[in-house]
Structures are given as C-alpha cells and as structure tokens.
Amino acid sequence: MAHTDTKVFTAHIPLPLADKVDPLAARLDRSRGWVVKQALSAWIAQEEERSRLTCEALAMWTPGASSTIRPCRRGPTASARTSRCLHRADGTEVDQQGALRSGTAV
C-alpha cells in the first residue's frame, strides 16, 4: 500500500452520528478512519459540484458574467461562512443571489 502524506483532524461528533460509524465499519470490514474519510470525501465532492453549478447559474443569469466566476476569500483568515461572494471575470463582486456588490472590483 502506497504511503501518502496525511493531516490529523480532531472533530467533536454528536453521539447519535458517532454511534453509527463503528457498526458501519464492521459491516464493511473497514476502519473507523476509512469510513470517516469516505464520508468527508463524498461531502467535499458534493459541495464542489454545488459551487460549480452555482457559478454556472450565476454566469447564465447575471448580465456580463462569464463562466470564470470564482469564489471570493476576504483575506487569509476568511472562512467560507463569512465570505459568501463570487467574482465575475471582470473582477466585479456578486453575492450568492447574483446581485452586484458596489465598489468591489478586484
């Protein structure tokens, strides 16, 4: 088995959800970590697809937008929760509903 670099995350999981992991791992004959990695990978793929579809929809319905709309990050410590905006190819910032934000050219 090939070795890959890893990073350890610590997360507090609600007991009802955590109680489902061990039986699932046993049924699949896999480790608890494998089950969590599979779930996280699937969720990330789902969110990336949702973001791609949102960008496509904004590009289709926002005048002057292109398919190169990209997520906005407001500085190195910004989180996805606090920076819900997108940039069009011309640098104009739009919110998740496609409304232009004033004075936001990049």
In this predicted model, what pLDDT tens digit does every residue of 43-94 receive, in sequence order? 999 999 998 888 887 777 756 555 554 555 554 444 444 445 566 666 666 6
Tell the burial category of 78 from Cβ atoms under 10 Å away from its Cβ (0-12, 13-18, 19+): exposed
Q: What is the pLDDT of residue 52?
A: 86
**pTM of full prediction above 0.95:** no
Q: Is 87 left (phi over 0), alpha (psi -120 to 50) or beta?
A: beta
Give the separation between CA 36 and CA 31, rounded to whole angstroms: 9
Mean pLDDT of the chain: 74
The residue ranges of every structural domain in the chain are 15-95
Question: 């969110």: which residue's tokens?
Answer: 47
Q: For the residues 15-41, what does the mean pLDDT come to?
A: 95
**30 vs 101, residue with greater confidence:** 30
**36 vs 69, residue with greater confidence:** 36
Confidence of residue 24 (pLDDT cuts 50, 70, 90): very high
CB atoms within 10 A of CB 55: 19
